[in-house]
């Protein structure tokens, strides 16, 4: 117990130091009005974004800007964990509170769906926030569906049953993971546990074991798993955990799954079209070395 508490202290200090060295939060991200949702774009669609254990919207500074710069015009709601960022282990370990939070956000999404029955709704989560996004999908009423759920290095066990979440996904559940996420996605989760309270390397590192995570073969087509490749280094993702919040990777790799070019069309695509036209084109785009250009076909308005 002493060793575990000492380890928690060391990890907390390291994360706090990392936060202290980070750039100041993007002013729009920490605007209280934005945290309530920007009604101007509500008629276009809704995107909920969920940060990791530090739990503040400021953690999503670069990711938020990346999505906006990529052309996102939908309403964006940025989640803030109910307790201060200093309680990051509370965010991880309080399973009942996380389930309650998920139910509250699910009710908020249901209210949006009632007002806007045809508009797309997407969830984008990072690390522990990705795990929370799955819990939110599970908590939705039977008649409410999401378009797609994007999980960046989710802090869930690799065999976590995704069946209930997938029942509310019309598009796809996309899981980004990396075998090089072996510190926070591996050792950290094995030592302190995943959000579903399993002590093992997370899907953040390994991806989901689909035979166990999705027992129904008919649902597996809704899951797209994308493992880190060296090509992603071109847009700032080294394969480890923290770069999932980095600007370029979000703009050129993550954002296309929510902000698609006009010829791809955001919405209720088939999974085959999604893979063929988005993933493969994206990989070609990264390998081409043009990821720094604003002329990218992935910069568009929706």
Q: What does the pLDDT profile of the chain (302 residues) look like in tens digits?
A: 433 333 333 333 333 333 333 333 333 444 444 444 455 577 789 999 999 887 777 789 899 999 998 888 889 999 988 776 667 677 778 899 999 999 999 999 999 999 999 999 999 999 999 999 999 999 999 999 999 899 999 999 999 999 999 999 999 999 999 999 999 888 888 899 899 999 999 999 989 999 999 999 999 989 999 999 888 888 889 889 888 999 989 998 899 888 863 334 434 444 445 445 555 555 555 555 444 444 433 333 34
The pTM assigned to this predicted structure is 0.78
Q: How far is CA 51 from the centre of its chain?
A: 8
73 contacts 38 by C-beta, under 8 angstroms: no
Q: For residue 229, what pLDDT is reported?
A: 87
- Calculate helix-pair angle for 95-115, 128-139, nearest 10 degrees: 60
Q: For residue 138, what pLDDT is reported?
A: 97
CA dist., res. 14 & res. 272, Å (int): 42
CATH superfamily of 26-287: Alpha/Beta hydrolase fold, catalytic domain (3.40.50.1820)
CB atoms inside a 10 Å sphere around CB 284: 10
Q: What are the residue ranges spanned by the domains of the chain?
A: 26-287
Q: For residue 282, what pLDDT is reported?
A: 57
Helices (H), 140-179: 163-166
**Which has the closest alpha carbon to 101: 138, 62, 135, 59?**
135
Q: What is the 3-state secondary structure (H, E, C) of the chain?
A: CHHHHHHHHHHHHHHHHHHHCCCCCCCCCCCHHHHCCCHHHCCCCEEEEECCCCCCHHHHHHHHHHHHHCCCCCEEEECCCCCCHHHHHHHHHCHHHHHHHHHHHHHHHHHHHHHCCCCCEEEEEECHHHHHHHHHHHHCCCCCCEEEEEEECCCCCCCCCCHHHHCCEEEEEEEEECCCCCHHHHHHHHHHCCCCCCCCCCHHHHCCCHHHHCCCHHHHCCEEEEECCHHHHHHCCCCCCHHHHCHHHHHHHHHHHCCCCCCCCCCCCCHHHHHHHHHHHHHHHHHCCCCCCCCCCCCCCC
């Amino acid at each position: 117990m002493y060793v575990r508490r000492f380890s928690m202290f060391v990890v907390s200090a390291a994360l706090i130091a990392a936060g202290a060295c980070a750039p100041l939060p993007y002013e729009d991200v920490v605007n209280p009005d934005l945290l309530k949702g920007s009604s101007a774009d509500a008629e276009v669609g809704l995107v909920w974004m969920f940060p990791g254990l530090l739990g503040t919207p400021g953690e999503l500074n670069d990711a938020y800007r990346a999505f906006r710069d990529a052309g996102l015009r939908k309403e964006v709601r940025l989640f803030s964990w109910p307790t201060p960022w200093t309680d990051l282990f509370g965010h991880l370990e309080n399973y009942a509170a996380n389930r309650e939070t998920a139910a509250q956000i699910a009710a908020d999404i249901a209210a949006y769906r009632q007002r806007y029955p045809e508009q797309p709704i997407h969830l984008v989560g990072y690390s522990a926030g990705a795990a929370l996004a799955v819990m939110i999908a599970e908590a939705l009423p039977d008649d409410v569906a999401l378009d797609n759920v994007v999980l960046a290095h989710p802090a869930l066990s690799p065999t976590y049953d995704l069946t209930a979440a997938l029942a509310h996904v019309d598009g796809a559940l996309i899981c980004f993971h990396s075998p090089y996420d072996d510190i926070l996605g591996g050792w950290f989760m094995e030592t302190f546990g995943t959000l579903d309270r399993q002590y093992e390397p997370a899907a953040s590192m390994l991806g989901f074991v689909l035979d166990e995570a999705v027992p129904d073969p008919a649902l597996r087509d809704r899951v797209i798993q994308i493992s880190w490749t060296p090509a992603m280094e071109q847009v700032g993702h080294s394969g480890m955990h923290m770069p999932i919040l980095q600007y370029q990777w979000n703009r050129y790799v993550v954002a296309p799954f929510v902000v698609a070019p006009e010829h791809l069309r955001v919405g209720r695509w088939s999974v085959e079209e999604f893979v063929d036209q988005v993933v493969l084109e994206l990989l070609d785009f990264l390998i081409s070395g043009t990821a720094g250009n604003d002329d990218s076909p992935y910069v568009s308005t929706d």
